[in-house]
Amino acid sequence: METTLKPATTWRVPEPTGIPVRTNTGSEGQQTLRVASREVPTKQAMPKGTREYRIPNLARACQILRLFASTEDKLSSSAVARKLKMPRTTVLRILHTLAAERFLQRRGFDFTASTELRTGLRSLDENVVRMAAIPVLEDLSRITGESAHLALFSGPKAVVVETCEGSNVRPNGWTRAPVDLHCSSVGKVFLAFASTANLDALLATPLPPRTRQTLTTAEALKAECSRIAREGYAVDNEEQEEGMRSLAAPVWGSGGSLVAAVAVSGPAMTLSEPRLSDIAAQVVQAAKRLSASLSR
């Protein structure tokens, strides 16, 4: 079943650091991906008391640690400064300090984080994101009448870590459930906006059909990811489960890193095609709100 969708309300977010931009380098007729340019969400002013006690270089060190937690790559001081838009000399001093205190490991001119540090920081960030997401999900569920979800990327799957059940849906056990990337709206968000390595790795394996609507070819999935990157939201049109639809949008953290996806799901009867554009706009706005709170 083909679905005609209107682009949701335009929302521009920062170029995600550590996430390669996809460019149209293929020959004519070949599907390639490109993430649209993004601007940093406007940060709300911090309370006066917070400004008085905030230590700028300590805050920068926290941003640097979050960046290393989000990647297994070795990064130079120049790369970190470019990604986080910080002065290189400041970054260099912080990196050497973190290495001396054994938070980072130095390899020549590059630095990296240990597996233990990445795991710990990701767990901490997950809790921060979940706590910030709860009121957003509650409002989204109330406005749409459908279930609202927060999902995180976990290897070859997306994991739904928070759910606020809507009035139109019975509890469906999505919370903490891993879902396939190629046929879920949250999974397709991670494929469309994260590293091309995620998409390439997925396309190197068979794409199992979950329903008659599931996209099972590389060409179809690449085309869908291109649309998602262009319009800012993903749709699961009964691709994961017969009779169920969902829409999702990306959530960006400090430094412009992709940290999560916000979604709405419901029966195809209530999440009907005439409602999809309006629901998409609500999902995008919810993701924007959560992104702004995480970027403060």
Question: Residue 185: how many CB atoms within 10 A of its CB?
Answer: 29
Taking CB atoms within 8 Å and a gap of at least 24, the contacts of 124-129 are 125/66, 125/69, 125/253, 125/259, 126/152, 126/161, 128/294, 129/251, 129/253, 129/259, 129/260, 129/290, 129/294
Residue 51 to residues 48, 54, 60, 128, 254, Cα–Cα distance (Å): 5, 5, 14, 20, 18
Is 146 within the bounds of a domain?
yes
Compare 217 and 295 and report the one with higher pLDDT. Answer: 217
Residues 140 and 262 occupy one common structural domain: yes
Residues 147 and 209 occupy one common structural domain: yes
Is 139 within the bounds of a domain?
yes
Q: What is the mean pLDDT of residues 119-134?
A: 79
**What is the sign, positive or negative, of the torsion defined by CA atoms of 192, 195, 198, 203?**
positive
Domain-terminating residue out of 68, 93, 113: 113
pLDDT recorded at residue 91: 94
Task: Encode pLDDT of 136-186 as tens digits.
Answer: 999 999 999 999 999 988 778 888 989 998 776 554 555 667 889 999 999
Number of structural domains in the chain: 2
Rounded Cα distance between 200 and 212, Å, is: 23
Residues 215 and 290 occupy one common structural domain: yes
CA geometry: angle at 129 spanning 277 and 50, to 5°? 115
Residues 129 and 260 occupy one common structural domain: yes
Is 10 within the bounds of a domain?
no
CATH number reported for the structural domain that contains residue 100 in this entry: 1.10.10.10
Burial status of residue 131 (CB atoms within 10 A of its CB: 0-12, 13-18, 19 or more): exposed
Predicted confidence (pLDDT) at residue 239 exceeds the cutoff of 80: yes
User: Average per-residue pLDDT in the chain?
Assistant: 80
CATH number reported for the structural domain that contains residue 254 in this entry: 3.30.450.40
Residues 266 and 145 occupy one common structural domain: yes
Burial status of residue 54 (CB atoms within 10 A of its CB: 0-12, 13-18, 19 or more): exposed
pTM: 0.65
Is 35 within the bounds of a domain?
no
Q: What is the mean pLDDT of residues 74-87?
A: 91
Q: What is the mean pLDDT of residues 205-226?
A: 92
Residues 87 and 127 occupy one common structural domain: no
Is 246 within the bounds of a domain?
yes
Task: Encode pLDDT of 87-105 as tens digits.
Answer: 999 999 999 999 998 889 8
Residues 100 and 153 occupy one common structural domain: no
Q: What is the mean pLDDT of residues 189-195?
A: 87
Compare 12 and 280 and report the one with higher pLDDT. Answer: 280
pLDDT recorded at residue 255: 67
Q: What is the mean pLDDT of residues 236-257?
A: 90
Residues 202 and 96 occupy one common structural domain: no
Backbone dihedral angles phi then psi of residue 87, each to the nearest 5 degrees? -60, 135
Residues 90 and 230 occupy one common structural domain: no
Residues 187 and 248 occupy one common structural domain: yes
pLDDT band at 5 (very low <50, low <70, confident <90, very high): low
Domain-terminating residue out of 113, 134, 155: 113
Is 224 within the bounds of a domain?
yes
Question: Residue 31: how many CB atoms within 10 A of its CB?
Answer: 15
pLDDT band at 32 (very low <50, low <70, confident <90, very high): very low
Q: What is the mean pLDDT of residues 257-261?
A: 88
Rounded Cα distance between 146 and 169, Å, is: 6
pLDDT recorded at residue 122: 66
pLDDT band at 54 (very low <50, low <70, confident <90, very high): confident
Compare 252 and 11 and report the one with higher pLDDT. Answer: 252
Q: What is the mean pLDDT of residues 249-257?
A: 84
The identity of residue 275, as a single letter, is R
Domain-terminating residue out of 113, 137, 153: 113
Is 7 within the bounds of a domain?
no
Residues 193 and 289 occupy one common structural domain: yes
Rounded Cα distance between 290 and 292, Å, is: 5
The identity of residue 41, as a single letter, is P
What is the domain range of residue 154?
A: 123-294
